[in-house]
Amino acid sequence: MIDLSRRKLIVSGLAATAGASGLVVAARLAQKYGLVPPDHGGIYGLGETLTYASQRLLTRHSLAREFPRNRISPRPFPNELAPLTEDFKRLQAGGFADWRLSVDGMVHQPGSFSIADLKSYPSRSHITELACEEGWSYIAEWTGVPLSHVLNLTGILPQARYVVYVSMEPDTWDSIDMSDALHPQTVLCYGMNGSDLPVAHGGPLRMRLPRQVGYKNIKFITRLTVADSLQGFGNGCGAAACEAGYAWYAGI
């Protein structure tokens, strides 16, 4: 009996040590390969990390489903908007000619782009589904300049890991990792179903990430900041929505 419990003690001790060191190694590797989301802390951190890490491992280069033109939803649903600010209304009155997208942070050459500038670059259109975390979804054709194109124009420093994007709406900003930022379907979207992107859908400029749910697809984008860490942006979890309790990574 005593022998048995001693053996058990040794075996479980070894197992616990192996398990603990395995976890430490796994955490190091996960950190090294960018598998840890900024909101990995707290009681929901385990779930957030497992989702982000497994989707990064399995689906880094996968493309969101694209649909034939006849599947475009006849009536795309514009979600609720906060009241437009005076600044926005002034720009809207000028046909958004003075709208500027600034790019700063860890770039070789900070830049500022008008909507006309963005439209002059090679465009990418995709007919994809916009799905809200609430449950509803619709299909539309989205046209814009790939985010990677704009980042190539300014050049990004090798240590860059995130792109923070800021809306003209107060307290509205979010961020994505480089894998999403350089993804071919990630566009700074200025057109929808063949026309200019309507204000109700985020016009003149919206972030469009078809592999993540609606709330990451922020409307009225005015600023991009390339960063090596999300510390220093808000409380560090990487998004305004995240500070309101929503996951930073929304691939699920």
Partner 1 sequence: METLGSAQLAAEGCLSSAASPLPAAKLAPRHSGLVRITHWITTLCFFALLLTGIEILISHPRFYWGETGTVLTNPLFQLPIPSSRKLVPTAYGYVLPDQNGWSRALHFEAAWIAVLTGLLYVIFGLLTRHFRKDLLPGKNDFSWRALWTSFTKAFRFERPSAAEASSYNVLQRLTYLFVIFVLFPLVIWSGLAMSLTFASAFPWSVTLLGGRQSARTIHFFVSLALVLFLFVHVAMVCLAGFWSRTGAMITGRAATRKERT
Binding-site ranges for partner 1 (CB under 8 A):
44, 46-48, 50-51, 55, 58-59, 62-65, 67, 71, 73, 75-77, 79-80, 129, 131-139, 210-213, 241, 244-247, 251-252
Q: Please tell me the distance from the alpha carbon of residue 83 to that of residue 166, in angstroms, as a whole number.
A: 17
Nearer to partner 1, 62 or 102 (CB): 62
Report in angstroms how near the CB of residue 91 gets to partner 1 at its nearest: 26
Beta carbon of residue 135, minimum distance to partner 1 (angstroms, whole number): 4
Note whether 216 and 162 are within 8 A (CB).
no
How many angstroms separate the CA atoms of 45 and 37, rounded? 9
Which residues are CB-neighbours of 178 under 8 A, at least 6 positions away?
34, 160, 161, 162, 163
CB of 111 to partner 1, least distance (A): 30
Closer to partner 1 by Cβ: residue 33 or 77: 77
Decide whether 73 or 148 has the Cβ nearer to partner 1.
73
Least Å from the CB of residue 31 to partner 1: 20
Q: DSSP code of 162?
A: E
Residue 105 CA to residue 163 CA, distance in Å, equals 9
In 100-202, which ranges are continuous DSSP H helix? 115-120, 147-154, 178-181
Q: How far is the CB of 15 from partner 1 (least distance, A)?
A: 15
- Yes or no: say if 171 and 220 are a contact pair by the CB < 8 Å rule: no
Which tokens hold the place of 140? 């539309």
**What is the 8-class DSSP label of residue 135?**
S
CB of 65: closest distance to partner 1 in angstroms?
A: 5
Residue 27 or residue 153: which is nearer to partner 1 going by CB? 27
Residue 206, class by beta-carbon neighbours within 10 Å (0-12 exposed, 13-18 middle, 19+ buried)?
buried
Minimum distance between the CB of residue 50 and partner 1, rounded to whole angstroms?
5
Residue closer to partner 1 by CB (options 104, 133) is: 133
Closer residue to partner 1 (CB): 211 or 219: 211
**Residue 137 or 159 having the CB closest to partner 1:** 137
Bridge partners, residue 191, by sequence = 143, 196
Question: DSSP secondary structure string, 130-187?
Answer: EE-TTS-EEEEEEEEEEHHHHHHHH-B-TT--EEEEEESSTT-EEEEEHHHHT-TT-E
What backbone phi and psi angles, to 5 degrees, belong to 172? -125, 110
